Amino acid sequence: MQPHQSPAAPPDTARSPGAGARPLAEDIARAAEPLPEIEDAGFARHFDRFADRRVVLLGEASHGTSEFYRARAAITRRLIEEHGFAFVAVEADWPDAAAVNRYVAHHAPRAEEARAFHRFPDWMWRNTVVEGFVHWLRTHNEAIADPDARAGFYGLDLYNLRDSIAGVLAYLDRVDPAAARVARERYGCLTPWQKDPAIYGRAALTQGYAACEAEVVAQLRDLLAHRLDYAAQDGESFLDAAQNARLVRSAERYYRIMYYGGAESWNLRDTHMFETLSNLLEAQGPEAKAVVWAHNSHIGDARETEMGALRGELNLGQLCRERWGSEAALIGFGTHGGTVAAASDWGGPMEVKRVRPARADSVERLCHDSGVGRFLLDHRRDPVLAEQLAESRLERFIGVIYRPESELLSHYADAALSRQFDAWVWFDETEAVTPLRAEHLRAGVPDTYPFGL
């Protein structure tokens, strides 16, 4: 999985707060609903107002902040337990999350099970908060007799090409060995690139390997054409296999176009995530409701940021609004300072880094200057303030890479907060997530299932 790389902001280092910044911070303080500690039962109750939505999307301003993960886990527990939400879908690769889903749904691990979330950035999902939430979800499901009524855990992203190919082949080996032989031939053109599909992208760009596209599309079509026969044998496994085939199709194209630059590869990725979410909701039925965990850059409506306005990028939040309108709640998260788990370069080691205090001309500084350390800002409750926060301001985006020495260029972009999100959750001071280590693992859980080391 290749999480968000923060969009660049204009190199205007001389920007300063506009007139009236202090009164606006005071308006935020008046409108903000102070939140108790995350572990307090009252914290999650503040989000009951979104329980009637089809989709509740919960963001994060970084991929390595404990408060964001803990808050999303608390809100999701309540939405599942008290309001009947069917599943949580996260910004993670489908096959990795599928291993976790089998664990929480009390299904046996598969013989070919790979270790979940073992690639960079492993701390993004292999951390103590996610581990605790996964075991809560398993315990919650244990009391539900109907397997179809158990809450699920699914991945929306498209990067784990190798394990998705393996998943399709293993499924066909079980249900249709003849089709499995055909699939192996079709996927054969991708075999040399499975360990590092980015190399396939470079080869496709220079050597004409785009012929793989026809093969992976044909394989998906054949699998879907046998939907009724295969699903009759094992519906849950068919959903998994079909989504793996969709991922292979999308990933092949993604890696082929990523070297051209521009918005196309980003748009393909977020469209794939949206289509995966839509497929999951369709499989669960017309009354199903879902929670989504992803970065603010995927959750907030791209049309209200420079992503969409200047670069032509769309995202998951935008597509959800276009499909479900007011039935989709887009909730962003932000912070002023503290620490974050991040790397300095792609593939580098995780470091605990100090987050620089928010810039004076950013929306985060307005929230900090409000003096309220932890709050929910529901834009529907104060239309006048919402109109003020509809002005474009700098907003901070930290992905798995954080470079504080070039923060304005690397991690700030213009966005209109109250149009980008339906609500905003603020934690003034935050701490880095704790990556999962051997001492955190629970007794009796197999090494590879789902969080073995």
Spatial separation of the C-alpha atoms in residues 199 and 206, rounded to whole Å? 11
User: Residue 17 corresponds to which tokens in the numbers above?
Assistant: 């707060």
What is the percent of the chain with per-residue pLDDT over 70, rounded to a whole number? 85
Q: Is the predicted pLDDT of residue 19 greater than 50, yes or no?
A: no
Per the CB < 8 A criterion, the answer to whether 261 and 311 are in contact is no
43-101 pLDDT, tens digit each: 999 999 999 999 999 999 999 999 999 999 999 999 999 999 999 999 999 999 999 99
Q: Is the predicted pLDDT of residue 20 greater than 80, yes or no?
A: no
Q: Is the predicted pLDDT of residue 16 greater than 50, yes or no?
A: no
**Lowest pLDDT segment from 106-115, 321-330, 438-447:** 438-447
Which pLDDT does position 218 carry in this prediction?
85
Model confidence at 233, in pLDDT bands (50, 70, 90)?
confident
Which pLDDT does position 385 carry in this prediction?
96
Q: Is the predicted pLDDT of residue 124 greater than 50, yes or no?
A: yes
Q: Is 380 exposed, middle or buried (0-12, 13-18, 19+ CB in 10 A)?
A: exposed
Q: How many CB atoms lie within 10 A of CB 279?
A: 15
Which pLDDT does position 141 carry in this prediction?
97
> Which run of H or of E encompasses 290?
strand 290-293
Q: Is the predicted pLDDT of residue 395 greater than 60, yes or no?
A: yes
Spatial separation of the C-alpha atoms in residues 202 and 209, rounded to whole Å? 9
Block residue for tokens 């026809």: 214
Spatial separation of the C-alpha atoms in residues 313 and 294, rounded to whole Å? 16
Spatial separation of the C-alpha atoms in residues 367 and 357, rounded to whole Å? 12
Per the CB < 8 A criterion, the answer to whether 359 and 412 are in contact is yes
At 67, phi and psi to the nearest 5? Answer: -60, -35
Which pLDDT does position 194 carry in this prediction?
63
Per the CB < 8 A criterion, the answer to whether 318 and 302 are in contact is yes
Per the CB < 8 A criterion, the answer to whether 45 and 78 are in contact is yes
Per the CB < 8 A criterion, the answer to whether 353 and 339 are in contact is yes
Spatial separation of the C-alpha atoms in residues 443 and 424, rounded to whole Å? 38
Q: Is the predicted pLDDT of residue 447 greater than 70, yes or no?
A: no
User: pLDDT: is 39 or 183 the higher one?
Assistant: 39
Spatial separation of the C-alpha atoms in residues 94 and 240, rounded to whole Å? 8
Spatial separation of the C-alpha atoms in residues 293 and 299, rounded to whole Å? 8
Q: Is the predicted pLDDT of residue 173 greater than 80, yes or no?
A: yes
At 54, phi and psi to the nearest 5? Answer: -70, -40
Per the CB < 8 A criterion, the answer to whether 293 and 90 are in contact is yes
Model confidence at 337, in pLDDT bands (50, 70, 90)?
very high
**Lowest pLDDT segment from 81-85, 218-222, 396-400:** 218-222
Which pLDDT does position 251 carry in this prediction?
85
Question: Hey, CA dihedral for 413, 416, 421, 426, is it positive or negative?
Answer: positive
Instruction: Say which amino acid occupies 62.
Output: S
**Eight-class DSSP state of 201:** H
Q: Is the predicted pLDDT of residue 377 greater than 80, yes or no?
A: yes
Which pLDDT does position 41 carry in this prediction?
92
Q: Is the predicted pLDDT of residue 234 greater than 80, yes or no?
A: no
Model confidence at 3, in pLDDT bands (50, 70, 90)?
very low
Please provide the average confidence, as pLDDT, over all residues in the chain: 88
Coil, helix or strand for 338?
strand
Cα distance from N-terminal residue to C-terminal residue, the chain: 18
350-361 pLDDT, tens digit each: 999 999 999 999
pTM recorded for the entire structure: 0.88
Block residue for tokens 């291993």: 99
At 293, phi and psi to the nearest 5? Answer: -115, 120
